[in-house]
Structure 1
């Protein structure tokens, strides 16, 4: 997949950060943070581009991927406050408290075009799934919510697995029966979010496909 991005290199003190954003917004995609259940609602374009952005994040250990999702078209269903999404490798050491300062500096970034390798992403996702049931498995998505932003910190393989989940949702979501009437359809969820100690309802982010209105324009593939 070819991704059209903007690249920024803001500084905090002596440190320079590389941050990328989609050049065009994911207009019909939204996210609410898990409290304890979050909802990521997207059309084919949004879910497909999220698959590409997670794939890019998987192989960009020194890059922060910022996906603004608060300013799109407000969804007509769901719950909770909408948030943006940030992806970063857990080894990068990004502190969420520094994010508002970095976000203010994301101005006039030059264009950047990158390509993702779907075959490589699929191989690394398969490697993650092979290890998932092992007793010592620890390759999970750490997360935090701060400054109206949901942060996901992970490794190459778990980001690759998440990319594949979005790709499946983008591909199969339009084929579900109820979507022709404008209904959302649950397709997946973010894999293995780290859970807070003490029990309680597990944290989840549900991934749903939903075409954007007017629904008369939408036709299921093959019809």
Structure 2
């Protein structure tokens, strides 16, 4: 798949940071913080591109992959619960040892950036990733996601392996959500999730990912 991105550079003191964003806004994408868990609502385009950005995070260990979403309209007509807040998302490799407290300053310094198109394995190749489910539950497993919350942004920190293996969740939603909803009118709910029993979450909450084809205009 070809993924248009924008590459930004920011400098804090003597340290330079590379920030990658999708070239086009992820209009129909919302990430909600529900305290004990997280909910993501995506249309087909957003799910497809986030799957690509997930793979890009696996192959870009020196970059911060930023998905701006917190200003997007909700797919629901009713107002959110008082305890719910929308978040942006940043994907990063654990080797960066990035302090989320620096993010607000970096975000403020980002300019227009330069556009580029990267070529990544598409959703048709997700089956080629061989996952050793048993090893995920070994005590020695270090291929885990850890989460931090700062400046209305969720930071997903993990290894290249865990990003590569879990991109399939988003491609699954993009490939199967649009066909599922029309033929299940009584329960038009297609979803997947990062579950605590999957062996990919360390210090991290579960994320429920749901396909939505109806959005507020």
How far is 1:55 from its partner? Answer: 0.5
1:103 aligns with 2:107: yes
Given candidates 82, 85, 89, the residue that maps to 1:85 is 89
Q: Which blocks of at least 5 consecutive residues in structure 2 are unaligned?
A: none
1:53 aligns with 2:53: yes
Partner of 2:38: 38
Could you list the per-position Cα deviations for residues 25-83 of structure 1 after superposition, in whole angstroms to 9, with x for gaps in the alignment?
Answer: 11111001351111000000011111000001101111110000112222316651000
Q: Distance in 1 between matches of 2:3 and 2:179?
A: 25
Q: 1:182 to 1:82 in 2, by over 3 A?
A: farther
1:157 aligns with 2:161: yes
Q: 1:182 to 1:195 in 2, by over 3 A?
A: farther
Q: SS of 1:9's equivalent?
A: strand
Q: Distance in 2 between matches of 1:19 and 1:70?
A: 17
How far is 1:213 from its partner? Answer: 4.0
Q: 1:145 to 1:58 in 2, by over 3 A?
A: same
Given candidates 180, 201, 209, the residue that maps to 1:207 is 209
How far is 1:94 from its partner? Answer: 1.1
TM-score by length of 2: 0.85
Q: Distance in 2 between matches of 1:58 and 1:128?
A: 17
TM-score by length of 1: 0.83
Q: Which blocks of at least 5 consecutive residues in structure 1 are unaligned?
A: 197-202, 215-223
Please say if residues 128 and 157 of structure 1, whose CA atoms lie closer than 8 Å, have aligned partners that are also in contact.
no
Alignment of 1:119-138 (within 5 A): 122-123=127-128, 125-127=129-131, 129=133, 131-138=135-142
Q: SS of 1:108's equivalent?
A: coil
Please say if residues 143 and 150 of structure 1, whose CA atoms lie closer than 8 Å, have aligned partners that are also in contact.
yes
Partner of 1:219: none
Aligned CA RMSD, in angstroms, stands at 2.6
Please say if residues 181 and 188 of structure 2, whose CA atoms lie closer than 8 Å, have aligned partners that are also in contact.
no
Partner of 1:221: none
Count of aligned pairs: 208
Please say if residues 90 and 154 of structure 2, whose CA atoms lie closer than 8 Å, have aligned partners that are also in contact.
yes
Q: Distance in 1 between matches of 2:170 and 2:134?
A: 19
